[in-house]
Structure 1
């Protein structure tokens, strides 16, 4: 099987797995145990991982709260903000973009449906781009939290985060950045962005382990806690830390700091090779989203008249790709991201996401192109 679903989850880098194995077999102790050297050593490994992640984000290591992944991080940021504001007697106002992940949209919509917040959803154009003048108008009205992703998980469109952060900073609006697909793929510089920025990320999108993520929470930002039972991580996320997972996350970040630029340039070349091969044999193929800038490994497309479910059913034991986000896999409803682009029903029903990574090879890619072209040609012949 050829794996082209890196946006759903990346394979763990063997070097990351080796560090995790070492931690599992040699690092005895709980990082919260302060009365002996075993606890000290466990804490030191956490601190090292914290340093590597902070370095990749150019932020203060003390702002990092480790979680089980970006979904938990985003929920903590949104519900924690609303909880704190509500306790202050303030009715929260949230602003989110139409392309946000379900981990942002669903908590916000649930709070709005319960009449606990006011919610504004910012539209995008047909390329998935925000209108920055409209964003500025929204910020002028004073939302209490602005949520926008750095890179879209389905179409790969990049948001101009430095410009968005500057607008939020000008109006003193806290910004929540979902960097799940961006971390380790494009440069992120929280220090340069300035202002009040929260940021969510996951290890398994950059060749680290599943089940580990983080939330950047500025030291001055008041955030309610969703959990009780301990004082770990400033009381925001109590409980015993996932030591091997965090160690693996830190090592993955260290490696991305060293290898990101070279890897992503190669991945973009592979993506363009695949695109050219498909377009040469499938003239009615449509590419979704902004072509430049875009995540190096993301190719979202549709072939009118070829239902993606029928295509993937024929390929599921040979080629791993998807119709869209893994969080909505199996849902009969078309992708909310593609609907926000204004695509027709024909294009929505034939949407396909191919996502590449650092372990993708040219022979694999060429074989994947051949499989897709042959299967699409066969389905068209049947029609």
Structure 2
């Protein structure tokens, strides 16, 4: 993300760059933009989302029409699982000749993405998000665009990023992409079915439970819930030896601050503090869904009794 953002905006130094960013982007995007603002190297415009995390496309078009250097919108959110209409977003940006950086880390291997056909400018992917090796990823750059390097010392990859290539990681990423192309459609239908079963059981067994995000456009393997007035830390402390769930982004697991995604949605504090992110994948079984549902509902009931 650092290379895509910094490398693209500094190709034109005639004026201070202005970047439009979705407020629910990954911290890899938001923190890079914040660093540029602190150094007075760029201006940032935050796009608008509603309480379900859906992007306001009319406002996005207004911002694009005003003239910006770069538009950053993810393909799918890493916390609430929302899938964003990247094809439509790219068309809006293209109408005003604005490059689009799409963080597709959560989306590749789970939903169809057509980089060339949709004319996405920059797209970032991460291998371990599609069952590939950790520590490897790719930044796909559209033909006709060139990024100014932020790492120097060898001129690798057409001068855009110096450094010895991680060949085993690259091979692993390529193989993971090949396998997901073969398996994705069937896998994601099965994962969505398991997710819906878990959601249905939890809604039935846990009074007051809220499902966050856009239920009509989300990743199959994502279930983001809130249990009002029960701190998520109390739940996780009771299930951590049996169930792997989180309060937010895994890469922010050591951070005590509330989720910036849920804050951007404008959720009340009791829903933010009671939020839990549950992830499912191709290796999740129906038996595990039943066990997770029973464990969570039992723990919530016990916690409520203690808190009365």
Determine if the alignment matches structure 1 residue 82 to structure 2 residue 82: no
- Cα distance, 1:91 vs. partner? 1.5
Determine if the alignment matches structure 1 residue 311 to structure 2 residue 235: yes
- Cα distance, 1:290 vs. partner? 0.3
What are the residue-to-residue correspondences of 1:1-383 with 2, within 5 Å? 74-86=1-13, 89-194=14-119, 197-383=121-307
Q: Deviations over 1:71-109 (max 9, x none)?
A: xxx1110111233223xx331110001110000001101
- Cα distance, 1:113 vs. partner? 2.0
- Cα distance, 1:123 vs. partner? 1.7
Distance of 1:101 and 1:217 partners within structure 2 = 19
Alignment TM-score, normalising by the size of structure 1 = 0.79
Distance of 1:374 and 1:314 partners within structure 2 = 10
- Greater RCO between the two (CA within 8 Å, min separation 6)? 1
Q: Deviations over 1:157-188 (max 9, x none)?
A: 11111100100111110000000000000000
Once the two structures are overlaid, the 10-residue window that deviates more, 180-189 or 217-226, is 217-226
- Large movers: runs of 4+ above 6 Å: none
Distance of 1:238 and 1:115 partners within structure 2 = 26
Q: Secondary structure at the match of 1:123?
A: coil
Give the gaps of 5 or more residues in structure 1. 1-73
Alignment TM-score, normalising by the size of structure 2 = 0.98
- What is the Cα-based RMSD across aligned positions, in Å? 1.0
- Cα distance, 1:222 vs. partner? 2.9
Length, aligned pairs only: 307
Q: Deviations over 1:115-163 (max 9, x none)?
A: 1111101120011011111110000011110000000000011111110
Distance of 1:238 and 1:222 partners within structure 2 = 14
Q: Secondary structure at the match of 1:239?
A: coil
Pair member with larger Rg: 1
Q: Secondary structure at the match of 2:10?
A: helix
Q: Secondary structure at the match of 1:347?
A: helix
Give the gaps of 5 or more residues in structure 2. none
Q: Secondary structure at the match of 1:85?
A: coil
